[in-house]
Chains A and B, each alone.
Chain A
């Protein structure tokens, strides 16, 4: 089915450039000019992907992006399991994001753990008119009464909070004082701030710095005895258990994981982290801020890693081990060797079924590059990729370490562009989100959700790669895709038709 494999790189580049020019025609002139900066064909050797990023979305185009609240409550803070996160404002934001992100955790929900619950101040008109600070204070009292084992509270601001001039910081401070220094964190992640989820990540990181780290008693001893091998996992949200299938590898190589940020994480783990010898950072986009802060303030180095697919996992284990002594370096080799037979078996089973298949990706801030190696381990090729909320440093990493010459790049893609690109390029698989899933499946294109792992996972680590490979195989080789053409209708349906043009 794939066209890409039959064409030279030059042909692909020409086609992709033509395709970009074609989709831009649909826009009014001003919009076409703006969108043109976000679309490009990658030239190998360039230091970035040649697209503008982290810029306001254009009204009315059907951006796939979310908001700062989604970046803070949905991504960074929400998974911290022993704290109660108040969706502060009207009911909707908390409702739509309620338990939708699959941040796995262990705990007694509603008693000492609260991740899959929806706490909201359910703003009414009077709260907008008269302000919500008194209500917020009362909410905190009610939380203390009904959920006495909570270890802290965060206030996740929705749009109205910043617009009506509420002082959530003052409420948080006074309630913290009232409850013996309880950790209460106001977060200014109103949805209208910034251009995507990304600013929400940053604001959430800063809130940890200001309202967790800066409030800690420096004289307080660590609750555990430090070792030279203590690390913290940063930027893994434990979707489908990703952080667990990562942690096990770090521990098997002899490291000790003292904190998970933030999947299956706890307030204590956030507070433990300044004691780490190394922060290992998976999602650079959402947590580079706090990593840099800890480097500056506590002198903790940080190291990006990639636990998708055996090639990148081995590379990452060795990279992480490079920060430690021979014991850990040997540990890394031992772990790589231990899982080699499993990886060989997985690849022997699935690679023949997936060899040469092409993939187009559109995900958040990390996976559009990070999963490329895992596909390549299976003999697959990523022919197009783009980010919802990347910055230029993400596109630099993408260009320098991941994508091939001629790959089509689309930043903050619109619904229209993405459909047209897929229609013309005809990949064997599209990996994106729930809003895109059914669009492409209707077109007869196999699809996997690459935010939620399509309710599967984990995909991280060696154990996760087996699931990843199985899932990609079942998506692409499902017999359903042979049935999409109605047999008594003469002309094949649209995508094929367009290919014949």
Chain B
């Protein structure tokens, strides 16, 4: 009996004992009809070959281990960033359970979101009654200032019309006529979660700026000195938005962060559950039309939103998840140019500290090869940072990155001597990545939690940067933007490099001559 009250064994120890090992071996041999171990080994080796890769890349229909989620997830991400707002997803209720779980597993925070709980009858007759009842219930129970509606694929397939439904619900008295119910159609079979971010953000702005679905006059822009800021779908939103606010405050920039979810996903444990916390106020969202410019940190999260904003007379500037020295330089200088505010000495010093840190450590990164996967903008930002560290982002893959993104990545590679052997893979998944890691090995892999399966199968050490991160805690609290964010990314990469060297040199009397105390 391996279990012990004084030293309780967890699952990772318990089942390694002889009793369990014997039991599992018997189970397999007698009842599982297992494959011949030699055959398993043969296929395992075959799956590492260029021949397998060719078949793998010839896939046309099957997706295996994609690095993307669906649109409504992005819509929920946007909605919780507005003051006292509940995301209301029209369609099947299981979807909402999934979004809430997904975000809670990443942020270790509650995520409030409701569903219109459509079932078979709604599939036949449409979901109008679900919208009418749902809005009334949500409004009464959770007293939100705004209900932001998006859709699951079920509602999209049957063709429910949100604009008409919300109008009817208001006529039926579900919520007051003047109550804010912005909406966005977010079909899961188009694009990914970043598309959902885009549609939902555009939906909110359209609501406030363009006459609240025909119920009021459109706002007339009276340009002011403020700038709007869009973070895009970002797993580091808590740390990043706070860092951006700090930077803007240092510069004396007047700003509106549109969709500021940095507080609602970082509430204190002090005896009170805050269903709502912080967020862009509805007044700010409306007044954002008057801003002089809008900055998007993620071009591919705002492909529709930025042109919409531009159409209202703003200057719009898009970045690709800027990480590191040059990207932050460019970001700050653009902010400075737009606002006319100088970049203060303090930020120049922070810049110098990041350059200092890179100089101290670059010998350990220089020439190392990396594979990166994630959302298109994040991939770009990280690849650009690696290039300035003298590393090679050999393999860059985005399941939700298309041909335009690929061109942009290629241009980035072409701009650096360290990018000469780098390749971009748009619309590919992590099973493609698995082949690539075997046929074109790299030193490190950068990706989200699911990269640990690639680490296990290919032996490539994983550096966890991305979304979701389920199996490490609190990373989302640290920024990756700004010079301070660049410092955090640098340290994260270095820690893994040093841990890997130590692990490779730890065998006593064999490899430990290199188990250096100073590195």
A interface with B by C-beta (< 8 Å): 26-28, 30-31, 56-70, 82, 89-93, 95-100, 104, 106, 108-112, 116-125, 127-128, 135-136, 138-139, 142-143, 145-146, 148-149, 151, 158-160, 162-164, 191-195, 197, 223-224, 240-241, 244-245, 247-248, 251, 257-260, 264, 266-269, 272, 338-339, 342, 345-346, 348-349, 414-416, 419, 433-444, 456-458, 462-463, 466-467, 469-470, 480, 484-486, 492-496
CA distance A224 to B29 in the complex (A): 10
Question: A residues within 8 A CB of B100?
Answer: 435
Given known contacts A65-B97, A125-B187, A435-B97, what 14 new A-B pairs fall within 8 Å (CB)?
Answer: A26-B140, A59-B115, A90-B70, A90-B153, A93-B95, A95-B70, A98-B450, A110-B47, A160-B153, A192-B120, A224-B30, A248-B19, A439-B110, A485-B271
**Contacts of B98 on A, CB cut-off 8 Å?**
66, 70, 92-93, 96-97
Chain B nearest CB from A153 CB (Å) reads: 11
State whether B123 touches A142 (Cβ < 8 A): no
Q: Mark B63-88, 1 if CB is under 8 A from A, else 0.
A: 11110111011000000000000001
Q: With A91-B69, A146-B55, A266-B32 as given contacts, are A434 and B157 in contact (CB-CB < 8 Å)?
A: no
Whether B94 lies near A69 (C-beta < 8 A) is yes
Closest 7 CB pairs between A and B?
A67-B94, A493-B271, A92-B70, A59-B134, A60-B134, A268-B33, A96-B98
Chain B residue total in the interface (Cβ 8 A): 108
Check A59 against B142 for contact (C-beta < 8 Å): no
A–B complex contacts, Cβ < 8 Å, 5 sampled:
A57-B117, A91-B66, A92-B70, A127-B189, A192-B91
Interchain nearest-CB distance for B129 vs A (Å): 8
Bound-state CA distance A65–B94 (Å) is 7
- Assuming A92-B188, A106-B28, A224-B31, is B1 touching A339 (CB within 8 A)? yes
Proximity string of chain B (81-116) to chain A, C-beta cutoff 8 Å, 1 when within and 0 when not: 000000010011111011111101100111111111
A82-B32, A138-B61, A192-B120 given; A27·B137 CB < 8 A: yes
In the assembled complex, B509 has its CB within 8 A of some CB on chain A: no
Q: Which residue of chain A is the closest to B71 with respect to CB atoms?
A: A92
Query: In the complex, which of the residues B19, B44, B101 has the most CB atoms of chain A within 10 Å of its own CB atom?
Result: B101
A440 near B189 with CB under 8 A, answer no
Cα A467 to Cα B270 with chains together (Å): 28
CA distance A433 to B14 in the complex (A): 25
Question: Is B517 among interface residues, defined by CB-CB distance under 8 A?
Answer: no
CA distance in complex: A435, B111 (Å): 7
Given contacts A61-B141, A100-B105, A435-B111, contact A120 B269 (CB under 8 A): no
A441 to chain B, nearest CB (A): 6
Given A146-B59, A149-B35, A191-B154; A61-B138 close (CB under 8 Å):
yes
Q: CA of A86 to CA of B307 in the docked complex: distance in angstroms?
A: 38
Interface centre among B44, B63, B112, B268 (most CB of A within 10 A): B63
> B66, A484: Cβ atoms under 8 Å?
no
| Complex CA–CA separation, A240 to B13 (angstroms) | 12
Q: Is the CB of A111 within 8 A of B47?
A: yes
A441 surroundings in chain B (CB, below 8 A): 269
A106 surroundings in chain B (CB, below 8 A): 24, 28
> Does A120 contact B66, Cβ atoms closer than 8 Å?
yes
Contact for A122 among B63, B92, B97, CB less than 8 A: B63
Interface presence of B518 (CB below 8 A): no
The B122-147 residues at the A interface (CB cut-off 8 A) are 122-123, 130-131, 133-138, 140-142
Assess whether A247 is in contact with B27, with CB atoms less than 8 Å apart: yes
Write the chain B residue with the least CB distance to A492.
B271
Give, as a whole number of angstroms, the nearest-CB distance from A185 to chain B: 17
Closest chain-A Cβ to B180's Cβ sits at a distance in Å of 16
B153 x A248 contact (CB < 8 A): no
Known pairs A59-B116, A193-B119, A248-B20; A164 contacts B43 (CB<8 A): no
Q: What's the nearest-Cβ distance from chain A to residue B111, in Å?
A: 7
Residue of A nearest to B274 (CB): A442
Q: Is the CB of B97 within 8 A of A70?
A: yes
Whole-angstrom distance between the Cβ of B71 and the nearest chain A Cβ: 8
Q: For residue B437, which residues in chain A have a CB less than 8 angstroms away from its CB?
A: none
Task: Decide: B133 and A31 in contact? CB cutoff 8 A.
Answer: yes
Task: Tell me how far the C-beta of A434 lies from the nearest C-beta in chain B, rounded to whole angstroms.
Answer: 5
> Taking the nearest CB of chain A, how far is it from the CB of B448, in angstroms?
11
CB <8 Å contact, B270 and A484: yes
Interface residue ranges, B against A (CB under 8 Å): 1-6, 8-11, 14-15, 19-20, 23-24, 27-28, 30-35, 39-40, 43-44, 47, 52, 55-56, 59-66, 68-70, 72-73, 88, 91-95, 97-102, 104-105, 108-120, 122-123, 130-131, 133-138, 140-142, 152-154, 157-158, 187-190, 192, 267-274, 431, 434, 450, 453, 457
Q: How far is the CB of A446 from the nearest CB of chain B, in Å?
A: 11
Whether the Cβ atoms of B133 and A58 lie closer than 8 Å is yes
Which of chain A's residues have a CB closer than 8 A to the CB of B91? Answer: 159, 192
Write the nearest CB–CB distance from B409 to chain A, whole angstroms: 22
Q: How far is the CA of A56 from the CA of B271 in the complex (A)?
A: 33
Residue on B with the closest CB to A343? B5
- Of all chain B residues, the one with the shortest Cβ separation from A493 is B271
**A442 and B190 in contact, given A56-B119, A92-B72, A118-B65 (Cβ under 8 angstroms):** no
Partner of A142, one of B27, B60, B190: B60
Q: CA separation between A121 and B136, bound complex, in Å?
A: 36
User: In the docked arrangement, what's the CA distance between A276 and B157, Å?
Assistant: 44
Contact check, A241 vs B120: say whether CB atoms are below 8 A apart: no
Complex CA distance for A91 and B271, rounded to whole angstroms: 38
Residue from the list B4, B20, B137, B188 in contact with A91, Cβ < 8 A: B188
Query: Cβ of B271 and Cβ of A444 under 8 Å apart?
Result: yes
Contact in complex: A59, B269 (CB < 8 Å): no
* Contact A435–B110 (Cβ < 8 Å): yes
CB-CB nearest in chain B for A114: B64
With A56-B117, A224-B30, A224-B31 given, is the CB distance from A463 to B24 under 8 Å? no
Contact between A119 and B63, CB atoms less than 8 A apart:
yes
User: Inside 8 A of B136's CB, which chain A residues have their CB?
Assistant: 28, 31, 60
Which one of A111, A346, A444 contacts B43 once the chains associate, using CB atoms below 8 Å?
A111
Q: A66-B94, A100-B101, A160-B157 are in contact. Are A439 and B40 (CB under 8 A)?
A: no
| B111 (CB) vs chain A CBs: closest residue | A435
CA distance A323 to B2 in the complex (A): 29
Given contacts A435-B104, A485-B270, contact A121 B5 (CB under 8 A): no
Residues in chain B near residue A268, CB distance under 8 A:
31-33
Which single member of B35, B66, B119 contacts A195 (CB below 8 Å)? B119
Residues of chain A lying within 8 A (CB to CB) of residue B94: 65-70, 93, 191, 197
Contacts of B32 on A, CB cut-off 8 Å? Answer: 82, 266, 268-269
Contacts of B66 in A (CB 8 A): 91, 95, 118, 120, 122
> Contact at A60–B137, with CB atoms within 8 Å?
yes
Chain B positions within 8 Å of A439 at CB level: 110, 273
Contact B97–A64 (Cβ < 8 Å): yes
Say whether B97 contacts A60, CB under 8 Å: no
- Chain A nearest CB from B379 CB (Å) reads 18
Q: How far is A106 from B142 in the complex, measured between Cα atoms in Å?
A: 45
For the complex, what is the distance from the CA of A30 to the CA of B137, rounded to whole Å? 10
Q: B15–A142 contact, CB under 8 A? A: no
> How far apart are A27's CB and chain B's nearest CB, in angstroms?
6
Separation of A448 and B130 alpha carbons in the complex (Å): 33
Neighbouring A residues of B110 by C-beta, 8 Å: 435-439, 442
Q: In the complex, which residue of chain B has the Cβ closest to the Cβ of A471?
A: B8
B33 — which chain A residues lie within 8 A by C-beta? 151, 223, 266-268
Question: In angstroms, how far is the closest chain A Cβ from the Cβ of B452?
Answer: 10
Q: Which residues of chain A come closer than 8 Å to B154, judged between CB atoms?
A: 159-160, 163, 191-192
Q: Which of B3, B118, B187 has the most CB of A within 10 A?
A: B3
Given A416-B142, A456-B10, are A108 and B44 also a contact pair (CB < 8 Å)?
Answer: yes
Query: Given A100-B101, A345-B6, is A192 in contact with B119 using a C-beta cutoff of 8 Å?
Result: yes
Residue from B8, B24, B136 with most neighbouring chain A CB atoms (10 Å): B8
B347 CB, nearest partner CB in chain A, Å: 33
Closest to A98 in B: B450
From residue B450, how far is it (CB to closest CB) to chain A in Å? Answer: 7
CB pair B44–A192 under 8 Å, yes or no, is: no
